[in-house]
Amino acid sequence: MAALLIRSIARTIKRPPATASAAYSTGGGRGCTCTRQKLEGKVALITGGASGLGKATAGEFIRHGARVVIVDSDEESGFKAAKELGVAAEFMVCDVTVEADIARAVETTVERHGKLDVMYNNAGIVGPMIPASISELDMKEFENVMRINVIGVVSGIKHAAKVMIPAGSGCILCTSSVAGLIGGLAPHSYTISKFTIPGMVKSAASELCEHGVRINCISPGTVATPLVLRYLRKVFPTATEEKLRETVKGMGELKGAECEEADVAKAALYLASDDGKYVTGHNLVVDGGGMTAFKIAGFPFPSDS
């Protein structure tokens, strides 16, 4: 399992360098160069919004006219992110493992803005990379991953539904992972937690659709977020950050492109906007075709220096 994990997250493929997409900014302001703002007048709440996919999605939502409340347990990074995102963003400290914190975040958002249109349950952790064997699984560590990745998401769905059901509309999003599509790509705790999320989404969708509320999840491929790079450093402690980023790029299957934070943010925008008005109970995979066939485990180890 350990060898499979390391091979899957660290392989490199000999191919021409990917052409990066147009520069993406989460900077302040509400301007959008597109023909229309897809979330004009909407209010969104994003957990795990201080960095990575959460912050990128907040920036994309703001560019399309939304007001965004980002919540995170990292107070320093949260306030910094809100400042960078501009006047359309605000930050609240929130521990998603504490249901009262989630409830307060939702209630405060509604009190300040009069409604909640989009709830994005994005907060999550990978958990320990070792031990790799299920026979040595630390149950306390397992419970910690499940509290954040599963119970935190369930709490977010619950309290968003309390607001959206009476309103007769709303969109709930959750971050899953390609690790929730096939075993062996990540530690057991993380994999189990991410397999759970699409099931939760389908279960909730069966009820919420009766009230005009949509719920979907997004399963990204590996993106070089601060969280991913932090965990890769534990696997390859001598590798430079540049090497780690190149490793992540090499995991994609789609020639000429790489999975970036902006790609996941735009997927979230589609699901949150009227473009996805008839999509619910769906798991949107953003992985460049990585899960279309089993191609990962057999690749050799890269150098970690």
- Sheet with strand 67-72: strands edge to edge: 89-93, 67-72, 43-47, 118-121, 170-175, 213-220, 283-286
Q: How many of the other CB atoms lie within 10 Å of CB of 14?
A: 5
* Location of structure tokens 């360098």: 17
Based on the number of CB atoms within 10 Å of its own CB, is 106 exposed (0-12), middle (13-18) or buried (19 or more)?
A: buried
Q: How many helices and strands (H and E) does the chain possess?
A: 10, 7
Known catalytic residue: 190?
yes
Bridge partners (DSSP) listed for residue 119: 45, 172
Between helices 226-235 and 2-10, what is the axis angle to 10°?
130
Between helices 226-235 and 241-249, what is the axis angle to 10°?
110
Which of 120, 190, 231, 278 is catalytic? The answer is: 190
Bridge partners (DSSP) listed for residue 174: 121, 217
CB 208 within 8 A of CB 171: no
* Location of structure tokens 């369930």: 154
Between helices 52-63 and 261-272, what is the axis angle to 10°?
50
Find the distance separating the first CA and the last CA of the chain, reported in whole Å.
23
Task: Spell out the residues 6+ positions from residue 166 whose beta carbon is closer than 8 angstroms to its own.
Answer: none
Catalytic residues: 190
